[in-house]
């Protein structure tokens, strides 16, 4: 049995030509060629031992067992099957289709939309992949003054407007507060060991190097201890950046639920871009939340704020 023409039409029409997981467009035009960067994906696999396979299921190619995903999300969903269960994917599909249908609703008049526009500008949300990638290259770890200033300015703005009774949505206030919290935790941790490398750029200070300048160039306890502390410091920053990215996506998905289901409909949530630093064996062993981070946080997972705050605060006390 194959997917019917009618099922295909319904699936693509109700998805709005967007990924049900990240809401990004899955069509593109490059050099005059029309490209499709998405798939009709089975929720329950037709193959034994495939993702979420259910023995005996007959309606494998039915509408209810299909979901439209971009190529990236398709890969993630089929690898993280313990998190992306059948039930979770069905809920995700329904929520996405509801957002697509909501396009017929007049634009939101929520006061948070203007605030979110200023938040996007302050946090450079549209350039989030570049910001995270520039920092997540081991040995480089660049943070720009413009981003630092934006975070600080938005915190002042948020603290001033939150007193206005118009901003009375607890979910949105909590999401924005959480984003500010992890951003401050990141910058506070970063500036413990930071150095300026230009007028508008900072990087992590390689504080293990001075040991080699004072007769400690060969391996010894003090130089190795400094190197270990440097690597732990960088790992902590990488971890907080994961949490910070999750907090950014939490703001976006909260806005969908509370303010405007079509907010950022042409852009979706953000992605964190990194090198191998997040997935090395040493990093995985050193972070109790690494698996949770890789499987959940990067896709707009609603944060368990108390647990994550405990991890960050405990790290900052050390």
Q: What is the pTM of this model?
A: 0.56
Residues 47 and 98 occupy one common structural domain: yes
Residue 263: the pLDDT is 83
Do both 63 and 146 map to the same domain?
no
Residues 141 and 200 in one domain: yes
Query: Is there a single domain that holds both residue 252 and residue 174?
Result: yes
Please tell me the predicted confidence (pLDDT) of residue 310.
59
**100 and 118, same domain (yes or no):** no
DSSP type of residue 18: B
The predicted pLDDT at position 176 comes to 94
- Looking at the fold, whether 94 and 132 belong to one and the same domain comes out as no
Q: Are 33 and 171 contained in the same domain?
A: no
pLDDT, tens digit, 9 for 90 and up, residues 257-273: 888 877 887 788 888 87
Which of 70, 104, 138 is the last residue before a domain boundary? 104
> How many structural domains does the chain have?
2
Between the alpha carbon of residue 181 and those of residues 163, 251, 276, the distances in Å are 18, 13, 26
In degrees, rounded to 5, the angle at the alpha carbon of residue 20 between the alpha carbons of residues 17 and 21 is 135
Supply the pLDDT for residue 42. Answer: 92
Q: E-assigned strands of the chain?
A: 27-30, 33-36, 38-42, 66-70, 143-144, 194-198, 201-204
List of the chain residues with pLDDT < 70? 1, 102-109, 138-139, 209-223, 274-318
Domain span at residue 25? Answer: 5-104
pLDDT given at position 303? 39
The residue out of 57, 81, 104 marking a domain boundary is 104
- The pLDDT, as a whole number, for residue 290 is 42
Instruction: Enter the tokens of residue 214.
Output: 């004072």
- 176, 251: one domain: yes
Domain identity same for 305 and 255: yes
One domain for residues 264 and 305: yes
């Amino acid at each position: 049995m194959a997917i019917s023409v009618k099922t295909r039409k319904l699936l693509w029409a109700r998805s709005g030509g967007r990924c049900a997981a990240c809401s990004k467009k899955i069509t593109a035009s490059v050099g005059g060629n029309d490209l499709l960067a998405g798939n009709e994906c089975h929720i329950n696999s037709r193959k034994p031992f495939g993702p979420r396979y259910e023995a005996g299921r007959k309606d494998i190619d039915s509408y209810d067992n299909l979901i439209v995903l971009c190529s990236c999300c398709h890969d993630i969903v089929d690898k993280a099957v313990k998190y992306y269960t059948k039930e979770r994917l069905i809920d995700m599909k329904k929520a996405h289709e509801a957002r697509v249908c909501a396009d017929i609703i007049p634009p939101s008049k929520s006061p948070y939309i203007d605030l979110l526009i200023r938040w996007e500008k302050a946090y450079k949300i549209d350039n989030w992949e570049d910001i995270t990638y520039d920092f997540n290259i081991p040995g480089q770890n660049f943070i720009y003054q413009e981003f630092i200033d934006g975070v600080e300015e938005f915190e002042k703005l948020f603290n001033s407007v939150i007193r206005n009774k118009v901003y009375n949505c607890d979910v949105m206030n909590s999401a924005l507060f959480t984003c500010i919290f992890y951003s401050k935790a990141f910058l506070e941790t970063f500036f413990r060991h930071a150095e300026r490398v230009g007028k508008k750029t900072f990087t992590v200070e390689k504080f293990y190097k001075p040991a080699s300048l004072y007769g400690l160039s060969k391996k010894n306890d003090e130089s190795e201890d400094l190197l270990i502390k440097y690597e732990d410091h960088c790992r902590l920053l990488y971890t907080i950046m994961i949490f910070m990215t999750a907090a950014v996506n939490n703001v976006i998905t909260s806005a969908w639920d509370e303010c405007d289901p079509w907010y950022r409909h042409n852009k979706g949530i953000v992605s964190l871009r990194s090198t191998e630093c997040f997935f090395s064996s040493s990093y995985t062993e050193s972070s109790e939340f690494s698996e949770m981070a890789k499987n959940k946080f990067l896709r707009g997972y609603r944060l368990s704020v108390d647990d994550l705050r405990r991890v960050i605060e405990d790290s900052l006390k050390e």
